[in-house]
Structure 1
Amino acid sequence: MARSANSPLTPFSPAFWRSPLRGPWLTSVLGIVLLGGITVLFVTGLVSYAAYNPNLAPVNDKTPEKGILGFYLFSWPTSPHWLYRLNQGVHVTLGITLIPVLLAKLWSVLPKLFTLPPARSLAHALERISLLLLVGGALFEFVTGVLNVQLDYLFPGSFYTLHFYGAWVFIGAFVVHAVLKTPTALRNLRRMREGKEVGTGEGTGEGTGEEDRELIAPSPAAPTVSRRGALWFVGGGSLLLFATTVGQNFDGFLRRTALLAPHGGAEPGSGPGGFQINKTAAYAGIREADTSDEAWRLVVEGRDGRTVRLSRAELLDMPLYSAALPIACVEGWSTSDQWWRGVRLRDLAALVGHDQDPPDVLVESLQQRGAFRRAALRANQVADSRSLLALFVNGEDLTPDHGYPARIIVPAAPGVLNTKWVARLTFGDL
Structure 2
Amino acid sequence: MKPRVTPPVFKGGLHDARTATVIGRWLGPAFAVCFLTGLVSHFMQHPPGWLADDLPSRPVWGYRLTQGLHVASGIAAIPLLLAKLWTVYPRLFEWPALRSVRHALERLSVAVLVAGAVFELATGLLNTAQWYPWPFSFVPVHYAVGWLVVGALLLHIAVKSPEIRAHWTRRSPGTLALPAVDEPDRRSLLAALTAAVGAVTLTTVGQSFTPLKGFILFAPRHPDKGPQTLPVNRTAAAAGVGRIAHEEYRLTVAGPRPYTLTLDELRALPQHEVELPIACVEGWSRSARWTGVRVADLLERAGVPEQARVRVVSLQLRGGYRVSEMGHRHARDPLTLLALRLNGEELDPDHGYPARLIAPDRPGVLQTKWVGRLEVVA
TM-score, normalised with respect to structure 1: 0.81
Q: Secondary structure at the match of 1:375?
A: strand
Which residue of structure 1 lines up, in the alignment, with residue 199 of structure 2? 240
Q: Does 1:275 align with 2:225?
A: no
Q: Secondary structure at the match of 1:326?
A: strand
Deviating more after overlay: 158-167 vs 192-201? 192-201
2:202 touches 2:212 (CA, 8 Å); kept in 1?
no
Q: Which structure 2 residues correspond to residues 328-343 of structure 1 after superposition, within 5 A?
A: 328-336=279-287, 338-343=288-293
What is the CA–CA distance in structure 2 between the aligned matches of 1:400 and 1:72, rounded to whole Å?
Answer: 33
Which residue of structure 1 lines up, in the alignment, with residue 259 of structure 2? 308
Q: What is the alpha-carbon root mean square deviation over aligned residues? A: 2.7
What is the CA–CA distance in structure 2 between the aligned matches of 1:185 and 1:3, rounded to whole Å?
Answer: 36
What is the CA–CA distance in structure 2 between the aligned matches of 1:118 and 1:72, rounded to whole Å?
Answer: 48
Distance 1:180 1:341, change over 3 A: same
Paired AA for residue 234 in structure 2: K
CA drift at 1:333: 0.6
Which residue of structure 1 lines up, in the alignment, with residue 123 of structure 2? 144
CA drift at 1:393: 1.7
What is the CA–CA distance in structure 2 between the aligned matches of 1:307 and 1:110, rounded to whole Å?
Answer: 65
1:101 touches 1:234 (CA, 8 Å); kept in 2?
yes
Distance 1:383 1:72, change over 3 A: closer
Paired AA for residue 392 in structure 1: R
CA drift at 1:113: 3.2
Deviations 1:231-254 (A, max 9, x none): 122222111101110110144x73
What is the CA–CA distance in structure 1 between the aligned matches of 2:126 and 2:204, rounded to whole Å?
Answer: 14
> For structure 2, which runs of at least 5 residues remain unmatched after alignment?
none
Q: Does 1:49 align with 2:4?
A: no
1:364 touches 1:374 (CA, 8 Å); kept in 2?
yes
What is the CA–CA distance in structure 2 between the aligned matches of 1:73 and 1:351, rounded to whole Å?
Answer: 24
Deviations 1:100-126 (A, max 9, x none): 110111121213334344443454333
What is the CA–CA distance in structure 2 between the aligned matches of 1:153 and 1:418, rounded to whole Å?
Answer: 22
Q: How many residues align?
A: 378
CA drift at 1:295: 0.6
CA drift at 1:200: 4.4
Distance 1:118 1:154, change over 3 A: closer
Q: Secondary structure at the match of 2:368?
A: coil
Q: Does 1:373 align with 2:373?
A: no
Quick one: percent identity of the two aligned structures? Answer: 41
Which residue of structure 1 lines up, in the alignment, with residue 146 of structure 2? 167
1:29 touches 1:185 (CA, 8 Å); kept in 2?
no
2:258 touches 2:302 (CA, 8 Å); kept in 1?
yes
Q: Secondary structure at the match of 1:335?
A: strand
Which residue of structure 2 lines up, in the alignment, with residue 392 of structure 1? 341
Which residue of 6, 15, 31 maps to 1:38?
Answer: 31
Deviating more after overlay: 27-36 vs 108-117? 108-117
Q: Does 1:421 align with 2:376?
A: no
What is the CA–CA distance in structure 2 between the aligned matches of 1:285 and 1:155, rounded to whole Å?
Answer: 24
Which residue of structure 1 lines up, in the alignment, with residue 351 of structure 2? 402
Deviating more after overlay: 134-143 vs 190-199? 190-199
Distance 1:160 1:308, change over 3 A: same
1:406 touches 1:421 (CA, 8 Å); kept in 2?
yes
Deviations 1:70-102 (A, max 9, x none): x99883210000000000000101110121110
Distance 1:155 1:391, change over 3 A: farther
